[in-house]
C-alpha cells in the first residue's frame, strides 16, 4: 500500500456560514476562519475542507454557484481568501475546496445565456428537454428532485424544461458536452495554481446521465432517477479525463461525495491505480433507517449490528486496494453525538469520546465536522419557523402542510434528521451568541452553549476537545492506526463495537497490534479480553478502568484501546 500525506491526515470540515463571524453581520466569513486557525493548529488537524465560499445567491447555502472564480459577498473578498490560505499554510494546514460541478446556480452566466435562446452557444451546457408529448404542462419524465417536487422546471423563455436534481435554482450541467468539461477543468486548474491543496467534490458521481432519461420507478410521489443519473455511463471516463488534465499535475487530495456507491464502485473511483480520486464518501451508515418512516425522515436509533456490518464491509473490501473516508457527521447530517451516541448531559462527553475512538482507530482518513470536537449536539427545534435549510422547509411542506401526516408524528423525525442540526453556530465561549457573532446570527445558537463551548473545553484537560487532540496526535506516532488491517470481533453484539488493527508489513517501523473496544449503550457490559492482549498497555481510554485482567466490566459509553 502506497504511503501518502492524505492517508495520514486528519481533515476538519468548516461550514463557513456557521464557523466564525468577524464583522458582526451574523454570518460566518473568511476572516473569521483566519482568526481561528491557531485553535485548529492546537487541535492538531492537517487539512481544512471548506464548504463552498464562491459567489452564490444562496438558495442552497452556497451549493448553488453563480461564479466559480469569485467569493460570496457575505464571506468577504478574494484578498480575504488569499490571506486565509497563506496563514493556514504558515501553520502547516492545507486547504481543500468544495467543488460543486454537477450543477450551477440559475444565476450563473452560463445558465443565463443557455436559457436565452435555443441556438445560444451555451444552450447545450445544461440538460433541456421538451415536455412529454410536447406538452408544456407535463415534464419530460417523472423524476423527483432531492429537495421535493419534480426534477424538471418549465422555462417560458424557450418553452422547454431543464433538469435540476436539486433545487430549481440549481440546473444540472451537461457533462456530455466537451466544452462544459473543459470549462470546469480550466476553473479547477485556476484554483490549483492559486495554491489550494485539493477538492471535495459534491455529488460527483451524478455528473453522467443516460441520454434517454427514462421514467424511474415511483418512490413516494415521484420516479427514482438513481439508475439513470447516479454512477452513470460515462462517469469513470470523465473522472479519468479530469485526473489526466488537472488532478495528476498537482500534489493534492481529492474526495468524492458519492451517494449510492458500493465497495466495488469505490475501488474504481478511489483505487490505488485507477487514476480517478483519492477517496470517496459512502453514506450507507448514515442512510440507515431510510424508508422506515417518511423517506429519510426518521428518529430511530441505528442498530449497532447493522452499523458494524456496514463499517466492517468498507474496512475489509477496500483494504490494500482503495482508501476510506471516515465520518460520523457533516453539514448534511445531524450531530454525531445526538445520533450515534447519547446527548443526555450525564452521557454526552463519554459517548462523544467513545464515537471519536471508534472512528479514528479505523483505516481511512478521519473527518471532524466543526463542533464535533466539542461534542456539540442537535438543536432543540420548536417550530418549522426555526428551519433555514431548504430541504427541511420543503419536506415539512410536502409531508405536513399538505396533510399527508400529522405534525405530531412527523416532528420528531424531521428534527432528528434536519441538516440545520449541523448548521447552528460553533460555540466558542459562554458570552452572548456563543462568541460566534456580535450581531444577530443567521440561524439560532444552540442554548446549551454555556455548558458546551471551546473556551471551557480547551481549558479542561479532560474535555472532549482534549480527547480529540490526543487521538489526532496518536495517529502521527502509530502507523498501525493509519495502515493496519482491520478485523471485527463480536459481530452480533448490540452493545459493544470491538475490533483489532494489525500491521502486516514486512520490516514495518512498528508491528503494533491494537484492540479497540467501544460500548454503545448506557449500561455496563462484560467483555473478555483476548489472551494475546492480556497485560497489554492502554493507548487511550475515555475513563478509568483496570484492563490488566481477562474480564473487564465496560462502563456506559466507555472506550479503550490496548496496544501490544
Q: Per-residue confidence at 510, pLDDT binned at 50, 70, 90? A: low
What's the confidence (pLDDT) of residue 343?
Answer: 98
Q: Which one from 64, 202, 457, 558 is the annotated catalytic residue?
A: 202
- Is residue 216 scored above 90 in pLDDT? yes
Q: Residue 295 — very low, low, confident or very high, per pLDDT cuts 50/70/90?
A: confident
Alpha-carbon span 252 to 250, nearest angstrom: 6
Confidence (pLDDT) at 506 = 61
Helix, strand, coil percentages (3-state) for the chain, rounded to 5, are 35, 20, 50
Distance of alpha carbon 543 from alpha carbon 523, whole angstroms? 14
Torsion of CA 190, 191, 195, 198, to 10 degrees: -130
What does the pLDDT look like over 348-402, one tens digit per residue?
A: 999 999 999 999 999 999 999 999 999 999 999 999 999 999 899 999 998 998 8
pLDDT > 90 fraction of the chain, expressed in percent and rounded: 93
pLDDT attached to residue 402 = 83
Whether the pLDDT of residue 61 is over 90: the answer is no
CA distance 564 to 511: 9
Burial 398-415 (b: 16+ CB within 10 A, else e): bbbeeeebeeeebbebbb
pLDDT at 229 over 90: yes
The three cell numbers locating residue 351: 459517548
- Of the listed 46, 106, 257, 332, which one is catalytic? 257
**Residue 257 falls in the annotated catalytic set:** yes
509 tagged catalytic:
no
The neighbour count for residue 241, using CB atoms within 10 Å, is 18
Q: Which three cell numbers stand for residue 44?
A: 492538531
Amino acid at each position: 500500500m502506497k504511503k501518502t500525506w492524505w492517508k495520514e491526515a486528519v481533515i476538519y470540515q468548516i461550514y463557513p456560514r456557521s464557523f466564525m463571524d468577524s464583522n458582526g453581520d451574523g454570518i460566518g466569513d473568511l476572516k473569521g476562519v483566519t482568526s481561528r486557525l491557531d485553535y485548529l493548529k492546537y487541535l492538531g488537524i492537517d487539512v481544512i475542507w471548506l464548504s463552498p465560499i464562491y459567489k452564490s445567491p444562496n438558495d442552497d447555502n452556497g451549493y448553488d454557484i453563480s461564479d466559480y472564480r469569485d467569493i460570496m459577498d457575505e464571506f468577504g473578498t478574494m484578498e480575504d481568501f488569499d490571506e486565509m490560505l497563506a496563514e493556514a499554510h504558515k501553520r502547516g494546514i492545507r486547504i481543500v475546496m468544495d467543488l460543486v460541478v454537477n450543477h450551477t446556480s440559475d444565476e450563473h452566466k452560463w445558465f443565463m445565456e443557455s436559457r436565452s435562446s435555443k441556438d445560444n452557444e451555451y444552450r447545450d451546457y445544461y440538460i433541456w428537454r421538451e415536455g412529454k408529448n410536447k406538452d408544456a404542462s407535463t415534464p419530460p419524465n417523472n423524476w423527483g428532485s432531492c429537495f421535493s417536487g419534480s426534477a424538471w422546471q418549465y422555462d417560458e423563455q424557450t418553452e422547454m424544461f431543464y433538469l435540476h436534481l436539486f433545487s430549481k435554482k440549481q440546473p444540472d450541467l451537461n457533462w456530455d458536452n466537451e466544452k462544459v468539461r473543459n470549462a470546469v477543468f480550466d476553473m479547477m486548474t485556476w484554483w490549483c495554481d492559486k495554491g489550494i491543496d485539493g477538492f471535495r467534490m459534491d455529488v460527483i458521481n451524478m455528473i453522467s446521465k443516460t441520454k434517454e432519461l427514462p421514467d424511474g420507478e415511483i418512490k413516494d410521489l415521484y420516479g427514482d432517477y438513481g439508475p439513470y443519473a447516479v454512477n452513470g455511463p460515462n462517469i469513470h471516463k470523465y473522472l479519468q479525463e479530469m485526473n489526466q488534465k488537472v488532478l495528476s499535475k498537482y500534489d493534492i487530495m481529492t474526495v468524492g461525495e458519492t451517494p449510492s456507491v458500493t465497495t466495488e464502485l469505490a475501488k474504481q473511483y478511489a483505487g490505488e491505480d485507477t487514476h480517478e480520486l483519492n477517496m470517496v464518501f459512502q453514506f450507507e451508515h448514515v442512510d440507515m433507517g431510510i424508508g422506515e418512516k417518511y423517506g429519510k425522515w426518521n428518529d430511530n436509533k441505528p442498530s449497532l449490528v447493522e452499523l458494524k456490518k456496514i463499517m466492517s464491509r468498507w474496512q475489509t473490501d477496500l483494504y490494500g486496494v482503495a482508501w476510506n473516508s471516515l465520518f460520523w457527521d457533516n453539514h448534511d447530517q445531524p450531530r454525531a453525538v445526538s445520533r450515534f451516541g447519547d446527548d443526555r448531559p450525564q452521557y454526552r462527553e463519554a459517548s462523544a469520546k467513545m464515537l471519536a475512538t471508534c472512528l479514528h482507530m479505523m483505516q481511512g482518513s478521519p473527518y471532524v465536522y466543526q463542533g464535533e470536537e466539542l461534542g456539540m449536539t442537535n438543536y432543540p427545534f420548536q417550530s418549522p419557523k426555526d428551519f433555514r435549510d431548504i430541504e427541511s422547509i420543503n419536506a415539512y411542506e410536502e409531508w405536513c402542510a399538505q396533510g399527508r401526516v400529522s405534525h405530531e408524528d412527523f416532528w420528531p423525525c424531521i428534527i432528528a434528521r434536519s441538516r440545520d442540526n449541523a448548521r447552528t453556530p460553533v460555540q466558542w465561549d459562554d458570552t452572548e451568541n456563543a462568541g460566534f457573532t456580535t450581531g444577530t446570527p443567521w440561524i439560532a445558537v444552540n442554548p446549551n452553549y454555556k455548558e458546551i463551548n471551546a473556551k471551557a473545553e480547551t481549558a479542561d484537560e479532560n474535555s472532549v476537545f482534549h480527547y480529540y487532540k490526543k487521538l489526532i496526535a496518536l495517529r502521527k506516532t502509530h502507523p498501525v492506526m493509519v495502515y493496519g488491517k482491520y478485523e471485527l470481533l463480536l459481530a452480533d453484539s448490540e452493545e459493544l463495537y470491538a475490533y483489532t488493527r494489525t500491521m502486516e508489513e514486512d520490516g514495518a517501523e512498528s508491528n503494533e497490534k491494537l484492540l479497540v473496544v467501544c460500548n454503545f449503550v448506557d449500561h455496563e457490559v462484560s467483555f473478555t479480553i483476548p489472551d494475546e492482549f492480556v497485560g497489554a498497555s492502554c493507548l487511550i481510554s475515555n475513563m478509568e478502568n483496570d484492563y490488566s485482567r481477562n474480564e473487564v466490566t465496560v462502563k456506559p459509553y466507555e472506550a479503550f484501546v490496548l496496544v501490544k
